[in-house]
Amino acid sequence: MIDRQEIWTGGLNEEALGAQPQRRVGLYDTTLRDGEQTVGVVLLPEQKLEIARLLDAFGIDRIEAGFPRVSEEDWRAVEMIRDAGLRAELWGFSRAVPDDVEAIVTLGLQATVIEAPVSEVKLRALGVERSEMLRRIRTAVAHASQRGVRVAYFAVDGSRADLGFLERVYKTALDAGAQELVVVDTIGIATPEAAAYLVGRVREWAGADVPVHFHGHNDFGLATAAAIAAARAGASYIHGTINGMGERAGNTNLAEVALALDALYGAETGLKLEMVSDVSRRVRELSGYQMAPWTPLVGENLFRRETGTAVSQFHVPEAIEPYAASVVGARRGVVLGKRSGRDSIRIKSEELGLTVPAEHSRALLERVKELGMRKRGLVTDDEFRSLVEELD
């Protein structure tokens, strides 16, 4: 749990929300499968193993090791992760196809999601009738269940499915032996209210003893909000990825969900958020992409201050930040540029061990601003040292 003394949100949320029930929400990570579907990302088996170990240390409850029938490399990656002795539960991924299910059994995985599309538009695109899809679901789930594999049925594009048919789909999966169900917002169309509604309906259909998951995407920028709403509606597990990586606009960002649930809603996820900066950075390095510096939790600008107004309050972190940098394993700092003020010069000088006479501070500030405008960027520490030397 986060140290509440390091969260500085005031009392508005408590006033609006009232007392929140304390509950545990599980995190299901699909970085190694859905995350790798990010355009241009290809991870080697050894890299997937490294990420799996990071996820395990990070506190992820369930790790989707991959879709073994995609390629020989994916099969090998699943084998390597299976044999790594991780604490987290390992899950596989399978379509409602006999050979996919048999791959899960052959690899000795104890649990898997089994997916099948259920919306009319998906069925039409695939040229599959409802009755045939129900048969495929029943057959695949029964095959896995009878071989001792725990199954969570994954209703692809369920957020756009006819609700009457969706109920039949989930009940068919349960009757065939599925023990868990996944509410899937494949195209990211669900509002938070719709995500909560659909989770609630599926829980009604399934009964209180069946864990219900939520798997969302970020096409409307609502993935985190929808996941929070789903958790509050009773979802036992939230699916997502590191950094929100994935197809199109990406998947739900698990770290964002964990921080919001813990800091704002009082629900525990067990994620070690103090590791998020390191985990995020390493996954980016292995995957070969960059993130915007203003990205929540892990953006390089979140705890760096340039504007003079903010820097003048730098000594009281809660005046300019909603939570402590230590919550997400980040470091605070002052940077110099066009928007700097005199406090910026003082703090940066102290940080670098430089002595700047008070009578020179205004002239130095003007030179910093001028250089920042000329560069159209920040003034580096080395450049600042040179400007200080020029004043002597």
Contact 68, 75 (CB under 8 A): yes
Whole-angstrom distance, CA of residue 34 vs CA of residue 245: 8
CA distances from 221 to 53, 189, 201, 362 (A): 29, 10, 24, 44
Q: Where in the chain is the domain with CATH 3.20.20.70?
A: 21-287
Per-residue pLDDT of the chain (392 residues), as tens digits, is 789 899 999 999 999 999 888 899 999 999 999 999 999 999 999 999 999 999 999 999 999 999 999 999 999 999 999 999 999 999 999 999 999 999 999 999 999 999 999 999 999 999 999 999 999 999 999 999 999 999 999 999 999 999 999 999 999 999 999 999 999 999 999 999 999 999 999 999 999 999 999 999 999 999 999 999 999 999 999 999 999 999 999 999 999 999 999 999 999 999 999 999 999 999 999 999 999 999 999 999 999 999 999 999 999 999 999 999 999 999 999 999 999 999 999 999 999 999 888 888 899 999 999 999 999 999 999 999 999 888 86
Whole-angstrom distance, CA of residue 80 vs CA of residue 92: 13
CA angle 134, 140, 143 (to 5 degrees): 135
Contact 238, 28 (CB under 8 A): yes
**pLDDT for 359:** 84
**pLDDT for 29:** 98
In this structure, which topology does domain 21-287 adopt according to CATH?
A: TIM Barrel (3.20.20)
Whole-angstrom distance, CA of residue 336 vs CA of residue 52: 38
**pLDDT for 1:** 76
Tokens found for residue 315? 């000594």
Contact 225, 192 (CB under 8 A): yes
Q: Rounded to 5 degrees, what are φ and ψ at 97?
A: -130, 130
Q: Rounded to 5 degrees, what are φ and ψ at 151?
A: -115, 130
CA 53, chain centre distance (Å): 16
Q: Cβ atoms within 10 A of the Cβ of 64, count? A: 28
CA-based radius of gyration for the chain? 25
**pLDDT for 11:** 94
Tokens found for residue 69? 């029938």
CA angle 72, 176, 93 (to 5 degrees): 20
What's the whole-model pTM score? 0.94
Which residues have a Cβ under 8 Å from the Cβ of 350 and sit 6 or more positions away?
none
Q: At 39, which amino acid appears?
A: V
Closest CA to 52 of 22, 89, 1, 6: 89
Q: Rounded to 5 degrees, what are φ and ψ at 44?
A: -75, 155
**pLDDT for 19:** 86
Element housing 88 (H / E) = none
Whole-angstrom distance, CA of residue 249 vs CA of residue 256: 15
Whole-angstrom distance, CA of residue 92 vs CA of residue 112: 4
Closest CA to 1 of 347, 353, 272, 366: 272
CA distances from 224 to 142, 146, 218, 230, 261 (A): 33, 36, 8, 10, 10
**pLDDT for 128:** 97
